[in-house]
Chains A and B, each alone.
Chain A
Amino acid sequence: MTELIERADTAADTPVVELSMQQAINRALSDLLTEDPEVLVFGEDVGTLGGVFRVTEGLQKEFGDKRVFDTPLAESAIMGMAVGLAMNGWRPVPELQFDGFAYPAIDQIVNQVARMNYRTRGATPMPITLRLPSFGGIQAPEHHGESLEALFAHTPGLKVVAPSDPADAYSLLLQSVRSDDPVVYMEPKARYWERRPVQLREPSDPIGTSRIVRPGRHATLIAWGAMVHRCVQVAELAAEDGVDLEVLDLRWLKPIDAAGLAASVSRTRRAVVVHEAPLTAGLGAEVATLVTENCFRDLAAPVQRVTGFDVPYPAGPLEPQYLPTIDRVLLAVQRTLEY
């Protein structure tokens, strides 16, 4: 899949390398460990094994087991340790191995990580970046395909980001780790492997900036993580029918780029938001509201949502029936066109 909009801000002298998202994240972690001696990487199997998805491969060997280390299988303890380390001047980058394993750590994340700086009137920043392999698409068992973005976005004090391609994965991770606020960095597992030509670059857009992946004029598809790829597929198929779809990668799920959304939908006059999480109280509702608040008079049709269903995330074989399909997205587009 080619990227359809060139990044204007790419430095001309950085070489183009062929990288998967997995490798791009590994490169970002390596660069962060190099640039800042306070950065620590830890979690279940991130050290000796190099992570179940090989994202942290080679880091312990390069930076030693004091900076890249394995933890017990205790997610609450992993996040609790991150809090203690952050209080003492470290810049922790913990990994919780899978989305569903974040639930046991919710107390630490919501009650400590998100609030400590507020509670201490700004005296105790929590520069923690929680790396969370997220979303579905790899036919894994239960607890390995959850989409928790609405839960984290709803928690004051947290920032939430989900990259959709290797280049963004690299620069958004640099940006997240360098931020003095806690960030939940959601890695779309389904997109770990596809290699793309990438120019690794320093982050240049402010936190909370979306990105137009594909320009179009008839409707805007809004997505994040692996659903961006799905929407680009849909846009390419729609083009065969003479329908020109814009694809907006939201990237930051907190703070949300309300201005970017408004700029796109004001032009296209139609919006479809696509996510893997269940429909009810999902982030699509927030996006639809922001679009409606800001573009009410421009809209040619109500904002459509194409999402997972209001059921627990299904194990392996049922996954393709649960995740937004190309046809479901196309039907939603048709509803906006015919309204």
Chain B
Amino acid sequence: MAQENFTFTLPDLGEGLVEATVLEWQVAVGDVVERNAPLVEVETTKSAVVIPSPKAGRIAELHAEEEQVVPVGEPLVTFEVEAADEPQAGIVGRVPAEEARPARRVRLRPPSD
């Protein structure tokens, strides 16, 4: 499966915050991370927060040192991701999870005919 790079930029973590300080990276270059795994702890003028990983993939590059101030919208981390393996959600909503074995409680009794 083809690899492609995806660069995650620092999102606005509050209402109109303009920057954040990197406190601690919780991943290193070369790590393989799951989606929603803790990525980095940053501090804004409001609070310290851990940003979850937006993607599953391998960390290709960290764009900021610890203690460095990163403006909103600037690159934070670049992932190497599987190009076509994981379906991408649209701008609205999420890809429904497919259960391997759907849950049920009701059992049927076959008809006599």
Contact = CB atoms under 8 A, between A and B. Distances in A.
A233 interface: yes
Interface in A280-302: 300
**B92, B105, B108, B110: residue with the most chain A Cβ atoms closer than 10 Å:** B108
A241 B92 contact: no
Contact of A241 (B88, B103, B108, B113): B108
Interface of B is mostly: loop
Contacts of A137: 96
Contacts of A218: 110-111
B87 A20 contact: yes
A237 B96 contact: no
B55 to A, nearest CB: 16
B98 A330 contact: no
Contact of B92 (A52, A233, A337): A52
Given A20-B87, A237-B104, A337 B94 contact: no
A20 B102 CA distance: 21
Interface residues of A, number: 33
A193 B108 CA distance: 31
B1 interface: no
Interface residues of B, number: 22
Contacts of B89: 138
A326 B102 CA distance: 8
Contacts of A327: 104-106
A159 interface: no
A337 B93 contact: no
B46 interface: no
B16 interface: no
A189 interface: yes
Nearest to A332: B106
Interface string A301-339: 000000000000000000000000011001101100110
A92 B19 CA distance: 46
Contacts of B14: none
Contacts of A192: 87, 90
A138 B107 contact: no
- Return the 7 tightest CB-CB contacts between A and B, nearest first: A138-B93, A140-B93, A193-B87, A330-B106, A241-B108, A53-B90, A242-B110
Interface of B: 87-96, 98, 102-111, 113
